[in-house]
Amino acid sequence: MGFKQWIAQAKLQLARVADLTGDPDALGALQQAIFEYQQADMVLARPYAQVWIAEAMIRKGQWRAALQELDDLREFTTKSKEQYYDTIAQDLREQALRHLADEDTSTDRLGGVVRLT
């Protein structure tokens, strides 16, 4: 365990607060913190950290990146059997998929935006 884990976990929490208060650099801080956490061979915080990262991506309109993060989380939780953030992760996944579907219906085949009235 040791200090590396606690420092990384503290960074995760601080980055989460930064994200929720609108700091534009918070997503990168979250990603760096979870990287450091995993480098300390820790996994318990991984589900909520990845959910927080996906939420930050969604707030930035990075829908596909959020889906990729959530897919990675699903792969991890399938193996680890950690389920305490599965419901929130699924809700975020559905939100991202709905947004991407909405984007697809508002774009024509040539890539131009079509106004639907």
For the segment 65-92, what is each residue's pLDDT rounded down to a tens digit? 999 999 999 999 999 998 889 999 999 9
Is 64 within the bounds of a domain?
A: yes
pTM of the model: 0.84
| Distance of alpha carbon 72 from alpha carbon 92, whole angstroms | 13
Which range marks the domain in which residue 97 is found? 2-105
At 78, which CATH number?
1.25.40
Is 115 within the bounds of a domain?
A: no
Is 111 within the bounds of a domain?
A: no
- pLDDT for 115: 44
Is 83 within the bounds of a domain?
A: yes
pLDDT-derived band at 116 (thresholds 50, 70, 90) equals: very low
3-state SS string over 20-52?
HCCCCCHHHHHHHHHHHHHHCCCCCCHHHHHHH
Is 114 within the bounds of a domain?
A: no
Q: Is the Cβ–Cβ distance between 57 and 25 less than 8 Å?
A: no
Is 79 within the bounds of a domain?
A: yes
Is 116 within the bounds of a domain?
A: no
Count: domains in the chain = 1
For the segment 19-56, what is each residue's pLDDT rounded down to a tens digit? 999 999 999 999 999 999 999 988 889 999 999 999 99
| Distance of alpha carbon 12 from alpha carbon 116, whole angstroms | 41
Is 92 within the bounds of a domain?
A: yes
